[in-house]
A and B are shown apart, each in its own frame.
Chain A
Amino acid sequence: MAAGPYSDETLWTADITRLVIRVMEDVNLTFDTLSGDTHALNFLSAAVIQVLSSGKETFASAAPRVLETIGMEESDCPKGLIKDTILQLDEAGLVIPARGGE
């Protein structure tokens, strides 16, 4: 499901409009109308989608915006975890690398 090779310069994006989201007890139950898949996203992965839906970001540029969204410090949520989360979302088909130098 992952979109392919990536680097630290890869820009990532997401399309939140195709997702139907129901929040239950801090879990974002998400139905992807494009794939028909159902996902359980925790608050971090949900925040990553929210950030990448509002603009294309690299791993590095996404991190501070994600931390701001979840209201936590890097000491709580290391950048490596945010990168791993983006890659997990890529595997799930919920984020994609922006193509063509966009």
Chain B
Amino acid sequence: MQKKNDQSGTFLNRRRQLLKLGAAGMPMVLTLRASAAQAVISQLTCVITLPGSLKILVDDTGAAWVGDGSLETGTTKGKGKGKGKGKGKGKGSEGWTLESINAFKENADFVFDEGSVPSEFRPDECEEVEECSSGGGDDDGDDDDELLAHLVDENGSYALNDFLAGSGDDDDGSCHGHGGGGDDDDSSHGHDQGVVDCGYACYEYSSGSTITPGDFVNGSGFNYTGDEGVFLALAVSHSESAGLNSSFPGVSCVISVLNFVGQ
């Protein structure tokens, strides 16, 4: 705090003069109040309003794609067992077409690497078939041929890391959190005819949706819950990597809250 080595005559004289002024009543401290109460209110109450619909596609590694593209549904064949998280209703064997998933990824406005989405929002990995075919002879009971078949899309290319699925979903072609809804023992699984019903979850936000990041703040930072939690987790991730130049929706509001919570 002090520069004791700077003790030149002029310097000391200036300090002595200042002390004389202090003894005569001049303040030694000048304070500008920050109005902390106002800061609390303003920083935590900003609201993100989405002027257009938005989807977040999450895979089981925690990678994510954010965009407004559509995801087309189709029907899988075969049997299997899967489970996952999301908003799906857990009925039927509908899945998304690989073509629409790939198109969504390619046209995504923002892409996040593996691990970006907290684990509670990721779909489970596709499980393998319990009722394995008898022809494989694997010690572990898996049917590698069937596994392989499900890993390869219609065009013969590898598309997914895993196969088998949990839930199906509504069939209106929009995003409903496939892989969600819990176990679905009697459903079909994996992907067939270019359709996948596992390994992905999708979160959709309608136009005009509002998200108040301050509602998700606890003593240690953000507490990600609900569908908005996915959005916030990615907004925070983007603000951390892209900093102040981040163009992710609502990032100003998120940074405001981050500044407040000291993250």
Contact = CB atoms under 8 A, between A and B. Distances in A.
Answer whether A and B touch in the complex at a CB cut-off of 8 Å: yes
A42 to B, nearest CB: 6
B31 A39 contact: yes
A45 B28 contact: yes
Contacts of A44: 18-19, 22, 28
Contacts, number: 85
B16 interface: yes
Given A21-B1, A35-B34, A77 B28 contact: no
Nearest to B18: A42
Contacts of A81: 19, 22-23, 28
A71 B31 contact: no
Contacts of B3: 23, 26
A72 interface: yes
Q: Interface on chain B toward A: helix, strand, loop, or mixed SS? A: mixed
Contact of B1 (A28, A39, A80): A28
B39 A36 contact: yes
B1 A23 contact: yes
- How many B residues touch the partner, as a band? 20 to 34
B150 to A, nearest CB: 55
A41 B29 contact: yes
B34 A38 contact: yes
Contacts of B134: none
B30 interface: yes
Contacts of A77: 19
A71 B5 CA distance: 10
Interface string A68-79: 011110001110
B33 A76 contact: no
Interface string B1-32: 11110010001101110110011000111111
A46 B30 contact: no
A101 B19 CA distance: 33
Given A38-B34, A45-B28, 5 more contacts: A35-B33, A38-B31, A41-B29, A72-B16, A88-B28
Interface of A: 21, 23, 26, 28, 35-47, 49-50, 69-72, 76-78, 80-81, 84-85, 88-89, 91-92, 94
18 contacts: A26-B3, A36-B35, A36-B39, A40-B29, A40-B31, A42-B18, A42-B28, A43-B2, A50-B2, A71-B4, A76-B15, A78-B23, A81-B19, A85-B22, A88-B29, A91-B29, A92-B31, A94-B29
Q: Top 10 A-B pairs ranked by shortest CB distance? A: A36-B34, A40-B30, A45-B28, A85-B28, A88-B29, A92-B31, A46-B1, A38-B32, A36-B36, A39-B31
